[in-house]
Chains A and B, each alone.
Chain A
Amino acid sequence: MTAQPIETLDKEDLRRTLAEVIDVDATEIGEATDFVDELNVDSLLLLELVVVLEKKYGVKFSEREMRTARTFRDAHALLERKLAVSA
């Protein structure tokens, strides 16, 4: 069986996953919401987010990537790039 390339990442599913780990309502995560400044995500939670996303989507983030993806938009764009590469 050939792997189907993931054309678009389910945005709402990603939003729900992030909300669950951060422990906020999914509606609180807007496109430009800054995880660190607005949702009080600290370095520990940030790493936890990375682990959850890596496991769920089967990708691997570098330390630099995980520090720069601080908004939903950035995280989504980064994941799409990663999935496009691994597809």
Chain B
Amino acid sequence: MNAAYEVERLLPHRFPLLLVDRVLDLVPGESITAAKAVTRNEQCYRRVGAHTADACLEYPRALLIESWGQTAGILATWRTPGQEPDAREADRVMLLGGLTGVTFHLPVLPGDVLHHRARLSRALSDTVIFEGETVCDGEVVMSVERMVMAFRPADSLLPSAG
């Protein structure tokens, strides 16, 4: 499996908001582990001056959640390589429905390589619930009790014409 290619095959996100680098492990319908390397060159640090203290370089928590959520998204949209999405799949948009019990245990800094782990708790046709955590150097930096992900048809989200 070309694990970096898989990310772009399964997620619609692109630079500068594609926040997963590589899929490390995936059990369809069950669980996923993916890697994300945080670097000083990220968009979120572009206005941060030189000689900035570590405390000011903490990777934004919103992006950390987004990155973890994208990992869960890869699990949710997983299909066998070579298999094209059907019309219904291609037309739907992935949305964050809600988050419960998110705890940030340690700050994430440039140079950290994160391993996001997400497990599928329950899935209906258009709604999926995940749980999991993000680990860096063997330590949990963030844990997620529940994330609700919803899929909705793209045209239902667009403003009506006229």
Whether B105 is near chain A, meaning CB under 8 Å from some CB there, is no
Q: Which residue of A lies closest to B127 (CB)?
A: A47
Question: Which residues of B, 96-113, contact A by the 8 Å Cβ criterion?
Answer: 97-98, 100
A48 at interface by CB-CB < 8 Å: yes
- Chain A residues, CB < 8 A from B146: 48, 51-52
Interface residues of B (CB under 8 A from A): 97-98, 100, 121-122, 124, 126-127, 129, 146, 148, 150
What 4 A-B pairs come out closest when comparing CB atoms?
Answer: A44-B97, A51-B122, A44-B148, A47-B127
Contact-residue bracket for chain A: 10 to 19
Beyond A44-B98, A52-B146, A63-B124, 19 extra complex contacts between A and B, CB < 8 Å: A21-B100, A43-B126, A44-B97, A44-B127, A44-B148, A44-B150, A45-B98, A45-B148, A47-B122, A47-B124, A48-B98, A48-B146, A48-B148, A50-B122, A51-B121, A51-B122, A51-B146, A54-B122, A55-B121
A47 to B128, CA, bound (A): 8
Per the bound structure, the CA–CA distance linking A48 and B65 in Å amounts to 18
Kindly report which residue of chain B lies nearest to residue A63, judged by CB atoms. Answer: B124
Question: What's the Cα separation between A45 and B127 when bound, in Å?
Answer: 10
Query: Which residues of A (23-58) have their CB < 8 Å from a CB of B?
Result: 43-45, 47-48, 50-52, 54-55
Q: Is the beta-carbon distance between A47 and B129 smaller than 8 angstroms?
A: yes
Residues of A within 8 A of B122 (CB): 47, 50-51, 54
The smallest C-beta distance from B137 to any residue of chain A, in angstroms, reads: 29
Residues of A within 8 A of B127 (CB): 43-44, 47
Supply 8 A–B pairs (Cβ within 8 Å), ascending by A: A21-B100, A43-B126, A44-B98, A44-B127, A45-B98, A47-B148, A48-B100, A52-B146
Could you tell me the distance in whole angstroms from the C-beta of A70 to the nearest C-beta in chain B?
Answer: 16
Select from chain A the residue with minimum beta-carbon distance to B123.
Answer: A47
Complex contacts, B126 vs chain A, CB 8 Å: 43
- Please name all residues of chain A whose beta carbon is closer than 8 Å to the beta carbon of B148 when the two chains form the complex: 44-45, 47-48
Q: How far is the CB of A21 from chain B (nearest CB, A)?
A: 8
